[in-house]
Amino acid sequence: MDFTMLWAGDGVLAIGIVPPPSRMEARARLRQAVCEAAAQWQNLDIEAISVESTPGSCPRLLLAGGVVGLSFSHDEGISLAAVHLHGAVGIDVMRVQDIADWFNLARDYLGPQVAQELAACPAAQRPLALAQAWTAREAALKCAGLQLMEWNEMSLHCNVQHIALQDGFIAMLATPKTETGVGP
């Protein structure tokens, strides 16, 4: 299986694949790539690793008898996965693109402050800024075990960081904030 290691450190692994056109096949290939990458990363037999997913709950990676955090994200032409050995994790990817109704989208899902920051942003920079804000919010929601929802004041207590990708895509990785405030 071909995958690209995007991040490895502090008990967190993030990988990416170029998925096949079928969403169902992309999901299956990403799960297989996660198992292979985790086996290499942790020096384990791939037979000791499996992905468990139940509709309505976060996917989990069964790794040598233990359960670890797992998150997936897909956009046309790219699929990402993140594994966290010590807790929850969220990853999100988005193609940078101009979205006609960006202000209402930002206000409804990212909050009034982000909507105002995007409104103040030069129009040429807005698609990138929107993609960064969107992927940060969605990765944090996934890390918190929540589905995409309209904006509320709830604090998600996540460390969010940018994952470098090919031009045209933005990805963010979220892990829970630790008591020391240190995270990947």
DSSP SS3 for 32: helix
Nearest Cα neighbor of 34 from 10, 42, 21 is 42
> Is 182 a residue whose pLDDT tops 50?
no
Domain assignment of residue 184, yes or no: no
78 HSE (CA, 13 A, CB side): 21
| Cβ neighbour number for residue 128 with a 10 Å cutoff | 13
Domain assignment of residue 183, yes or no: no
Domain assignment of residue 111, yes or no: yes
> Is 153 a residue whose pLDDT tops 90?
no
CATH number of the domain encompassing residue 117: 3.90.470.20
Domain assignment of residue 169, yes or no: yes
Full-model pTM: 0.93
Query: What is the C-alpha to C-alpha distance for residues 157 and 176, in angstroms, rounded to an integer?
Result: 6
Domain assignment of residue 34, yes or no: yes
Domain assignment of residue 181, yes or no: no
Domain that holds residue 134: 4-98+105-176
Residue percentage of the chain with pLDDT more than 70: 96
pLDDT tens readout for residues 56-98 = 888 999 998 799 999 999 999 999 999 999 999 999 999 999 9
Nearest Cα neighbor of 72 from 154, 6, 16, 4 is 16
Domain count, the chain: 1
Domain assignment of residue 129, yes or no: yes
The two three-digit tokens of residue 23, written as one number: 């969403």
